[in-house]
């Protein structure tokens, strides 16, 4: 790969390799090398500008979870080394809550949760990132309800006026990456499926999902079958029925030894004015950043279907926005 360290055989190797090097091998100082000084890192909880802030956050996380592992499940990517590449990296993380930190006093509890991260890299350096941790899974394993955790976080951060504000189009900061992915058929197919679902065409689930689809959704929830997908997507859209749904980025890939797959980053921006996954409608204005991965295959010859789906958004950041506006 032109411009990248020769020890990496390809872009997935780079993404998975530096993740292990930084977190598990304690190469935190390599962030000076692998991350640009003015990197923009967006998570649903906040927008962080600058590598020095990323280093501080990394050290704080490792102080709280010193045995944290990040197991790379997949890297779905687009672009070229010359122009820059965008990776959508799916991770399972395991960790023990062994130190005091943002999640409170050390509990000794062992956690497992997913992360989806979109990173733009060029010349061996990441300079733009969108990061979603399954905060719903984390706090539930710690014994919290996501809404209660969000309310407590606001208090811990100094109250509504002083707390860290979640990501919205108003708080977002532009970064160097302005690409939209690629035009591979599998990415386009998955983006169309999600657009149809958000347009209330729930019948697309039985048409385009395999009857035995495996689903992985926020809160660490694993499901199987059409009902699982229908319940999740219906509950999300029902909570924000008039919110604007936007496809932000689309990648599709056909790789040797891998099934056809897709990565889509999307958003919802509007009022919590419906009964759904977030309870009683509050009218709060909410921004939901989501990333979804899909794997396709044909159990029945000539009829490829969506067989595995992974979607994340941060439930606690949604609740934080609701609580900040409603008390």
Dist. CA 123–CA 312, nearest whole Å: 29
Q: In this structure, are residues 264 and 249 in contact, taking their beta carbons and an 8 Å threshold?
A: yes
As a whole number of Å, the end-to-end CA separation of the chain is 51
Query: What is the tens place of the pLDDT at every residue in 305-318?
Result: 999 999 999 999 99
Query: What is the tens place of the pLDDT at every residue in 193-251?
Result: 999 999 999 999 999 999 999 999 999 999 999 999 999 999 999 999 999 999 999 99
Measure the CA angle with vertex 102, ends 293 and 264; round to 5°.
Answer: 15
Query: What is the tens place of the pLDDT at every residue in 164-187?
Result: 999 999 999 999 999 999 999 999
Mean pLDDT on 109-137: 98
* pLDDT above 70: percentage of residues in the chain: 100
pLDDT bin (cut points 50, 70, 90) of residue 302 is confident
Instruction: Residue 240: name the closest of 167, 172, 290, 306 by CA.
Output: 290
Q: In this structure, are residues 205 and 234 in contact, taking their beta carbons and an 8 Å threshold?
A: no
33's tokens: 């090398």
Q: In this structure, are residues 136 and 313 in contact, taking their beta carbons and an 8 Å threshold?
A: no
Q: In this structure, are residues 148 and 136 in contact, taking their beta carbons and an 8 Å threshold?
A: no
At 248, phi and psi to the nearest 5?
-95, -35
Q: What is the pLDDT of residue 170?
A: 95
Q: What is the pLDDT of residue 276?
A: 98
212's tokens: 């035995």
């Amino acid at each position: 790969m032109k411009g990248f360290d020769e020890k990496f055989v390809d872009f997935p190797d780079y993404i998975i390799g530096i993740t292990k090097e930084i977190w598990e091998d304690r190469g935190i100082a390599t962030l000076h090398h692998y991350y640009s000084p003015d990197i923009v890192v967006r998570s649903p909880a906040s927008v962080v500008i600058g590598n020095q802030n990323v280093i501080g956050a990394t050290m704080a996380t490792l102080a709280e979870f010193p045995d944290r592992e990040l197991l790379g499940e997949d890297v779905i990517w687009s672009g070229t080394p010359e122009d820059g590449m965008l990776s959508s990296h799916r991770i399972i993380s395991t960790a023990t809550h062994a130190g005091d930190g943002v999640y409170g006093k050390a509990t000794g509890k062992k956690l497992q949760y997913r992360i989806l991260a979109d990173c733009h890299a060029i010349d061996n350096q990441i300079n733009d990132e969108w990061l979603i941790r399954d905060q719903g899974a984390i706090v539930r394993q710690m014994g919290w309800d996501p809404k209660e955790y969000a309310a407590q976080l606001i208090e811990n951060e100094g109250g509504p006026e002083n707390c860290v504000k979640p990501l919205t189009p108003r708080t977002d900061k532009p970064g160097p990456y302005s690409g939209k992915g690629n035009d591979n058929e599998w990415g386009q197919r998955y983006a169309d499926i999600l657009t149809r679902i958000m347009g209330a065409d729930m019948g697309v689930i039985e048409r385009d999902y395999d009857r035995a689809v495996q689903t992985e959704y926020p809160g660490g929830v694993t499901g199987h079958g059409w009902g699982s997908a229908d319940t999740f997507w219906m509950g999300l859209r029902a909570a924000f029925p008039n919110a604007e749904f936007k496809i932000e980025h689309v990648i599709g890939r056909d790789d040797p030894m891998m099934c056809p797959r897709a990565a889509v980053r999307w958003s919802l921006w509007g009022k919590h004015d419906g009964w759904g996954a977030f309870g009683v409608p509050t009218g709060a204005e909410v921004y939901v950043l989501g990333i979804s991965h899909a794997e396709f295959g044909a159990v029945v010859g000539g009829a490829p279907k969506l067989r595995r789906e992974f979607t994340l958004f941060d439930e606690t950041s949604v609740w934080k926005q609701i609580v900040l506006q409603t008390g």
